Amino acid sequence: MKLLLLFLFLLSNTKCEEPSDVYICNNGKTKKYHLSTNCRALRNCSYKTLKITLEKAKKDGKTLCGWEKQ
Ligand SMILES: [Zn+2]
């Protein structure tokens, strides 16, 4: 029982860290995407923040914002 709970915990944890959705500033010309809405670059955005999939962001030629380089 304990093992099962641990397994479920690990599973949900892994799911959480997979960044399938990213955020962009909806100014129509941004080339950056952000992993968090709390990013300082995104907070400077005076347009609406848009949530898109990472796949679409990459397809559009967007790259990870410089504040969030890993
Ligand atoms: Zn950012």
pLDDT tens across 17-49, in order? 555 999 999 999 999 999 999 999 999 999 999
Residue 26 neighbours by CB distance under 10 Å? 13
How far is ligand 1, taken at its centre, from the CA of residue 2, in Å?
39
Task: Give the mean pLDDT of the chain.
Answer: 86
The pLDDT confidence band at residue 68, using thresholds 50, 70 and 90, is confident
How far is ligand 1, taken at its centre, from the CA of residue 54, in Å?
13
- Asked if residues 47 and 55 have their Cβ atoms less than 8 Å apart, the reply is no
Distance between CA atoms of residues 59 and 18, nearest Å: 18
How far is ligand 1, taken at its centre, from the CA of residue 15, in Å?
21
Strand pairing report for 49-53 and 21-25: antiparallel
The pLDDT confidence band at residue 15, using thresholds 50, 70 and 90, is low
Distance between CA atoms of residues 44 and 27, nearest Å: 12
Residue 61 in this model has a pLDDT that exceeds 60: yes
How far is ligand 1, taken at its centre, from the CA of residue 30, in Å?
11
